[in-house]
């Protein structure tokens, strides 16, 4: 069994957050499934309990300061925070960019991660016992996609991760990010179904010729929060089936490969 830590996973009701909640609970940690969709969070908690794990739901909107502060108070002993609450974006051109969508994305993805880190940095420091925070970046933080709100927001999360690691390191709190490639989550399935993402293209652009499973992101998050990663802080770890390597490789003039 694990260390019986209290672990808070925002966005824990779905996708990467759900897989992360299941991963920590399976290793013996107590998980707070914090989400704006408490109904779906209840289902994750039921799944964890059916497997003999411990979890509870917390209804939170990470875009709201008071809501995040209430979460941090309710989970005051948390040693691990995973900021997985987030929104994806449909591709657009700058001329037609919807600024309401832009602002909501920044409010949830970037500002929500910052707010949660601030709230839990306070409770972790007050406990004096160190801790671990993991943010969710994206390959769109380091490569150009037609996602004018989402990509820059993820680049900001990478920068924030390094800043927080420096800020909180002396208090024994490590801060890292995972940088997922294309992950088959509910949001991604919906975008494939509506024609906004091409699954064949996403598979062929990766070295391993496939997309990433949510559980594979969860494994990387679990590692970053484990003692095995005790000297790792301030990094954004790609978990992308080799997308970052392969996407430029296969573009090289004269490349005759089939994938
Ligand atoms: N799916 C991918 O391919 C992919 C790739 C790179 C990065 N990511 C990132 O992973 C994170 C999780 O995305 P996912 O694909 O698992 O999506 P998802 O929709 O499956 O899960 C997101 C969860 O966040 C919750 N949520 C949304 N807004 C919230 C708010 N204001 N407060 C609290 N909870 C809120 C949703 O209810 C949902 O349960 C996001 O930051 C996303 O940008 C996803």
6-10 and 30-35 strand pairing:
parallel
Does the model's pTM come out above 0.85? Answer: yes
Residues in the chain: 259
Q: Examine the residue annotation and report whether 249 is marked as an active-site residue of this protein.
A: no
The rounded Å distance from CA 252 to ligand 1 centre is 33
221 CB near ligand 1 (under 6 Å): no
Q: What DSSP letter does each residue of 120-151 carry, written as one string?
A: HHHHHHHHTS-EEEEEE--GGGTS--S-TTHH
Give 16's pLDDT tier (boundaries 50, 70, 90).
Answer: very high
- Beta carbons within 8 Å of 177's beta carbon, 6+ residues apart: 134, 135, 136, 137, 157, 158, 161, 235, 236, 237
Instruction: Kindly tell me if the per-residue pLDDT of 129 is higher than 90.
Output: no
What pLDDT sits at residue 209? 95
- Residue 210 is given by DSSP the state S
Which atom number of ligand 1 is nearest to the Cα of residue 16? 16
Region of 131 please: left (phi>0), alpha (psi -120 to 50) or beta: left
pLDDT value at residue 3? 75
**Residue 15 banded pLDDT, cuts 50, 70, 90:** very high
pLDDT higher than 50, residue 1: no
| Mutation to probe ligand 1, out of 59, 83, 86 (largest number of atoms < 8 A from CB) | 86
**pLDDT value for 224:** 98
Sketch out the chain's domains with CATH numbers.
Answer: 6-185+213-242 (3.40.50.720)
Q: Ligand 1: which residue has its CA nearest to atom 40?
A: 86
* CA 158, chain centre distance (Å): 12
Q: How high is the pLDDT of residue 174? A: 98
| Burial (Cβ within 10 Å: 0-12, 13-18, ≥19) of residue 224 | buried
pLDDT of residue 197: 84
Binning pLDDT at 50, 70 and 90, where does residue 2 land? low
Mean pLDDT, range 18-24, rounded to an integer: 98
User: Is the minimum distance from the CB of 240 to ligand 1 under 6 angstroms?
Assistant: no
């Amino acid at each position: 069994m694990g260390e019986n830590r209290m672990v808070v996973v925002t966005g824990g009701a779905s996708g990467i957050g759900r897989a992360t909640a299941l991963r920590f609970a399976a290793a013996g940690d107590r998980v707070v499934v914090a989400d704006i969709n408490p109904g779906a969070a209840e289902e994750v908690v039921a799944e964890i309990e059916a497997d003999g794990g411990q979890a509870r739901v917390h209804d939170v909107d990470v875009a709201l300061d008071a809501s995040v502060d209430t979460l941090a108070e309710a989970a005051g002993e948390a040693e691990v925070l995973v900021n997985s609450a987030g929104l994806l974006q449909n591709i657009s051109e700058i001329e037609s960019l919807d600024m309401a969508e832009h602002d909501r994305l920044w409010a949830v993805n970037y500002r929500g991660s910052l707010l949660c880190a601030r709230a839990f940095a306070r409770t972790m420091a007050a406990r004096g016992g160190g801790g671990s925070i993991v943010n969710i970046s994206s390959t769109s933080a380091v490569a150009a996609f037609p996602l004018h709100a989402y990509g820059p927001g993820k680049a900001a999360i990478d920068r924030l991760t390094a800043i927080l690691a420096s800020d909180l390191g002396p208090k024994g709190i490590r801060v890292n990010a995972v940088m997922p490639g294309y992950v088959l989550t509910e949001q991604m399935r919906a975008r494939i179904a509506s024609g906004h993402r091409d699954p064949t293209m996403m598979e062929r652009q990766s070295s391993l010729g496939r997309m990433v499973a949510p559980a594979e992101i969860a494994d990387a998050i679990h590692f970053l929060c484990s003692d095995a990663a005790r000297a790792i802080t301030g990094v954004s770890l790609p978990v992308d089936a080799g997308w970052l390597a392969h996407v430029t490789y296969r573009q090289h003039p004269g490349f005759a490969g089939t994938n």
